[in-house]
A and B are shown apart, each in its own frame.
Chain A
Amino acid sequence: MQVFGIRYRNTQGTLMRILNAVSRRGIELPYVQATPAEHSHTVTLLLEVGPKQMGQLCRDWQAIVDVTEVRVGGRLSVMAKPAPSWTPAYPPVSAGGSVEAARTASA
């Protein structure tokens, strides 16, 4: 597993372009975290990639208009934080209905 840190201007679609570069290669995205960082944003990705894919991904990211920096490696501490507990807001559950039924209906 390799950690990538990508700094970008948070313009329309830039984060999606960063993620598309991964998904178009059929690579799993086990960990993604995007956070504001100073005047821009940073997304941290954890990916299972070989050296050749790593080079191609980095160059693809660098070719995205609003990506300003691509780093390989870096801090893993962000992943050590436990995910905050959350309540699913979706699918909406009708009065008297179950979450499972709502999921089935929206499938």
Chain B
Amino acid sequence: MPRGAEIVLACLLGEGVDLAFGYPGGAIMPLYDALEGSGIRHILTRHEQGAVFAAEGYARATGKVGVAIATSGPGATNLVTGIADAKMDSVPLVTITGQVRSPLLGTDAFQETDIFGLTLSLTKWSRLVRSIEEIPAAIAEGFYWARSGRPGPVVIDITTDALKANMEFAGPAKYQPAPQAVDAYGGEKFPAAVIALLETAKRPVALVGAGVKLAGATRPLRELLDRLRIPTMATVHGLGAVPAEAPYYLGMVGMHGTRAANLALDESDLLLVFGARLDDRVTGEPTRFAPHARIVHFEIDPSQLDRARTCDLPVVGDLADTIPAFLDALGRVALPDWKGWKAVAEGPERAETDPRGLAQPTVRLLDELYRRLPQDSVVVADVGQHQMWAAQRYRASSPRGFITSGGLGAMGFALPAAIGVQLAKPDTTVLSISGDGGFQMNIQELATVQRLGLPIKMVIIDNKYLGMVRQWQQLFYKRNYAETDLSDNPDFVAISQAYRIHAERLGEDAMREIPLGGEAGGLLDGFLASREPELLVFDCHPEANVYPMVPAGAALSEMVFEE
């Protein structure tokens, strides 16, 4: 009779899992003992947070469920940031944690934490498994909820005695949810209502978020936008869903969005939202968001409606259904041409004027890198100034091509997430972009990169500060740079070499040359062409800032462009 650990692995295989990320420890040892020959490839990271971010990277790049494994106590708590990140960004994730023996539950046993209780507000579903008999059903149900509807994180916490016990096992379970009444907010008549709003709108715009990609609705959305041809903008997670070359595309919206996108949204009288949560980084001050607009919100998760502002027409459902339904209904309806509005919103006077000052060399570096990337590349950005520069300059139209920790803003995300992406897409160029602060939060994963020989292209934008915090200190705290100075950073090139990974440093002067000098160009060419892991450390000016910027509490129209 198989042990509980073997049943867990068989159930994972039954869910289509062939890759898991993790870190062993006491309570999860039975699972690791059964791993060899199970058919599941396990990637040992050097920290549980690395494992969960790598699982997220894998999930974000593929749309499949990412799996992270850890032991009880500190192993489990080290997963928590990744679980929160997956919740915020709707990432399908299953974490499996070992737990102390069931008789010891609640006794503050060695390495016991109540990970089930700790993560109740962060998970979509979770289960504390106390006996071997519960394992098949728990895994089946966990995977169902992780990938269904709006995807999200699941925690399955299994006691050691359940993993060690034996029982007859007929095969993985299937989960069929109990039927549940769903409020049809949009109803079948929603297309006519949206069309009626469009027919009377003078200044319509469309806002595209991650939900479109998660639903696999990028193609019908593009068809719809080509039909509507109204000014369109994307959230950071919506980047790539709309081709940057589309004449109606105005770029990223929000705190560091483009002038054209933010102004158009602020002036609009009809806002069509496709799969975006409308969080405060997108809306600016929520009470002043799109002040003149009626809002039509296409959304799969009703709990995301009305967070910023009450929407006038919620269209609740899978965007893979609702967008095509709307497109069909639009048919040959004669829409206004909105010529005057488009001339204003898309006009040259709102185009970027590149007033980036001290950030110009860094922006140039990103442009030069992006220009050299194959179309299907994946960019994984960490959190901070470099993240916003990377998002602002991103021009590719690959739906899963730009990955970042958007909702939670978890520093240290990029390097381990890039590991997951590269493992999911071994033939794809993966460019990881970090700041010097964030890179050090999971720097130990260089060992994982080296061990696996993953050809990830890692860039550190090194301004020797916690740059985004410093920028806020400069602008809103009278340059009181409290505890953001990282001028005593280690030598990243030497550290990388200690991990046996080739590294180079590039000064910002090289990015001031027009055209780009042969030496710098050659370095970038070689960096991206290598089939080995590579690290590039770029010296960024310490006081370079990200602009435009919508200050906290301001409306989107109140962008600042310099100090």
Contact = CB atoms under 8 A, between A and B. Distances in A.
B306 interface: yes
Contacts, number: 41
Contact of A60 (B116, B127, B303): B303
Contacts of B126: 12-13
Residue with the greatest number of chain B CB neighbours at <10 A, chosen from A9, A13, A60, A69:
A13
A16 B116 CA distance: 11
B302 A16 contact: no
A30 to B, nearest CB: 21
Contacts of A63: 301-303
Contact of B303 (A9, A24, A52, A56): A56
A92 interface: no
Given A9-B178, A12-B128, A65-B145, A59 B305 contact: yes
Interface residues of B, number: 22
A55 B145 CA distance: 24
Nearest to A55: B306
A17 interface: yes
Interface string A36-73: 00000000000000001001100110110100110000
B200 interface: no
B120 A59 contact: no
A20 interface: yes
A38 to B, nearest CB: 14
B199 to A, nearest CB: 28
A55 B305 CA distance: 9
Contacts of B307: 56
Interface string B29-54: 00000000000000000000000000
B487 interface: no
B310 interface: yes
B183 A16 contact: no
A68 B121 CA distance: 19
A56 B277 CA distance: 13
Given A9-B178, A12-B127, A63-B301, A24 B121 contact: yes
B353 interface: no
B291 interface: no
Given A9-B178, A68-B180, A62 B302 contact: yes
A59 B181 CA distance: 13
A43 to B, nearest CB: 15
Contacts of B400: none
A29 to B, nearest CB: 15
Interface in A53-105: 55-56, 59-60, 62-63, 65, 68-69
Contacts of A55: 305-306
A69 B121 CA distance: 20
B117 interface: yes
A13 B126 CA distance: 8
What's the dominant secondary structure at chain A's contact region?
helix
Given A60-B303, A62-B303, A65-B145, A13 B121 contact: no
Q: How many A residues are at the interface, by size bracket? A: 10 to 19
A52 B116 CA distance: 30
Given A9-B178, A12-B127, A17 B303 contact: no
Interface in B115-137: 116-117, 120-121, 124-128
A81 B116 CA distance: 34
B302 A17 contact: no
Interface string B155-194: 0000000000000000000000010110100000000000
A101 B24 CA distance: 43
B128 A62 contact: no
B118 to A, nearest CB: 11
A52 B302 contact: no
Contact of A62 (B121, B125, B178, B183): B183
A16 B123 CA distance: 12
A16 B120 contact: yes
Contacts of B145: 65
Contacts of B117: 13, 16
A55 B178 CA distance: 25
Residue with the greatest number of chain B CB neighbours at <10 A, chosen from A12, A52, A68:
A12
B121 A59 contact: no
Nearest to A68: B180
Given A52-B310, A62-B183, A12 B116 contact: yes
Given A56-B307, A65-B125, A13 B302 contact: no
B270 to A, nearest CB: 22
A13 B145 CA distance: 15
Contacts of B183: 62
A25 to B, nearest CB: 11
Contact of B121 (A9, A12, A17, A52): A17
Nearest to A51: B310
B345 to A, nearest CB: 30
Interface of A: 9, 12-13, 16-17, 20, 24, 52, 55-56, 59-60, 62-63, 65, 68-69
Given A16-B117, A20-B120, 7 more contacts: A12-B126, A17-B121, A52-B310, A55-B305, A62-B303, A63-B303, A69-B181
Listed from nearest, the 7 A-B pairs whose CB atoms lie closest are: A63-B303, A59-B303, A20-B121, A59-B302, A60-B303, A65-B125, A16-B120
11 contacts: A12-B126, A13-B116, A13-B120, A13-B126, A20-B121, A55-B305, A56-B307, A59-B304, A59-B305, A60-B303, A63-B302
Interface of B: 116-117, 120-121, 124-128, 145, 178, 180-181, 183, 301-307, 310
